Amino acid sequence: MRNPIQHYAWGTRDTLAQMRGAPVPAPEPEAELWVGAHPKSPSHLVQDGGERSLAEAVEAEPDRFLPEGAERFPFLFKILAIAAPLSLQVHPSREQAEAGFAAEEAAGVPVDAPHRNYRDRGAKPETVIAVSPVRILTGIRPAEQLREIAEALDLRWLAEKAQLDAAALIRAIFDADDAAAARDLQVTVAAARDWAAEHPFDPHHTPAHQEAAGERITALADLVLLLDEAYPGDRGILVATAMNQLFLEPGQSAHTPAGQVHAYVSGTAVEIMEASDNVMRAGLTPKHVDVEQMLTVLVPDQPAPPLCGPEEAAPGVHRYATWDPALSVTRLDLDGQEPLSFRCEGLSALLCTDGEVEVTGTDGVAHRLRGTDSLLHTGTPDDLVLTGAGRLYCASHV
C-alpha cells in the first residue's frame, strides 16, 4: 500500500523522510503517516500497476476487507513523528460519541464545521508504542505529587486544588476568570524558569531517574517552559502542570482510555487507534476548545497508565496487547541472518519502519518493503517468510 503523510505543524522534517529514503529536511513538516481506510486520508492499494483507494475498496467489497460484524475498517495504524507538543485532548466513550453525534446532527451542525465536536459515532481509544524515546502527558498526578510540586515551586493555586479529582481539578482551572488564570500562569512560568536555572533538565536520563522526586520537578519545569514558548498565555499550561509526565523507552507502550486528558510532547512512535475523529481539546491549541463539552467526557479518576513491554512470542517476534482482545500489534525484527516465520491472520497491515525486508507468502509471491511501505492481508491465515534486515510492525484484527 501507499500511505499518506499528514503535514501538521508539530511534525518533524526528518523522521519520516529518513525512513523512506527521501531528502532531508523535508520541504514541510511531516507529522503522521496513516495506514488504513480513514475517509479523510486513506491508504491506496497498489496492485498490477494500478492504484485504488482502500476506503473505496472497503465500500465496494466489505465482505473481503472487514471482519465479520464490522461496519468500518477496525483500526487506524500510524507512525507519529513529533517535534513539538500536541494539543491537550480528551476522547469520548462510544456511548458519549453516539449521543453527541446524534445531538449535533439534530441541531444541524455541519460535520466539517470547525466547532463540531462529534464528527462520527465512534470512540477513539489508542495505544502508542515508542520507536525512539517518547515523552507524553496523560491523566492527572496523585494528590501527594501535586502537593510536592506546589511546595517546591510555591504554586498556591495548585496547592488549593491538589485534593480535587482529575475532572474537578481541570474544571476549576477553566472556571477561573481570565485575570486569575493569567496570574497563575505568570507565577508558574516564573517558578519554572527559576527552578530550571539551578536544575538543568537532562532528557537522556532514564525514565526511572526522571521519576525521582526532585527530577520530576526538573522535568516539569522544562515542560512548562517548552509549553510557554509554544503556547504563551494558554491556561492549558496549568492543566499540563498537574498531569502525569511519562518518558517511554523504545519498545514500551502506553494506553489512553476514553475520558483521559493526554498529549504527546516529543519522539517517534507507532500508534494504533480506532478510526474516529472525535476530539475534545483542553488547551495548547489555536483550534476550537469547547470547555463544557470537554468537561462532560472527562472521567474523575485519571491515573498514569502502566508502561508495558511486549510479550515475546518467538525470537524476533514481540506482541503488544491493546484495549480490544481482537486487536494486537506485533513487532518483527530481522537481523539480516536467519529468515523469520510469521503467521498472518485476520485483517492485518504490515508496516516497515526500518531497513529492507522481503515478505513471501505461501503463494510464493515476494514483496520487498522499505521504510513506510506496507502490505495488507485479508482472508485466510498465511504463513509468511521474512528475510532481510529491518523492522516491521503488524496490526492485526482477528
Please give the annotated binding residues for Zn(2+), written as ranges.
89, 91, 126, 262
| Active-site residue (options: 116, 281, 331, 391) | 281
Phi and psi torsions of 120, nearest 5°: -155, -175
Q: How far apart are CA 242 and CA 191, in angstroms?
A: 15
Q: The C-alpha cell of 140 is what? A: 492527572
How many C-beta atoms lie closer than 10 Å to residue 187's C-beta?
16
Q: What is the largest CA-CA distance in the chain?
A: 69
Cell of residue 236, nine digits = 492549558
Active site residue 281: yes
Torsion over CA: 120, 286, 180, 215 (sign): positive
Compute the distance between CA of residue 331 and CA of residue 352 in angstroms, rounded to an integer.
10
CB atoms under 10 Å from CB of 344, counted, come to 22
Q: Which helix (H) or strand (E) holds 234?
A: none
Q: Of 135, 137, 197, 198, which is closest to residue 170 (Cα–Cα)? A: 137
Q: How many CB atoms lie within 10 A of CB 288?
A: 13
Q: Is cis: bond before 25, omega within 30 of 0?
A: yes
CA distance 297 to 41: 27
- H, E, C per residue of 131-167: CCCEEEEEEECCHHHHHHHHHHHCCHHHHHHCCCCHH
Binding residues: 89, 91, 126, 262
Active-site positions read 281
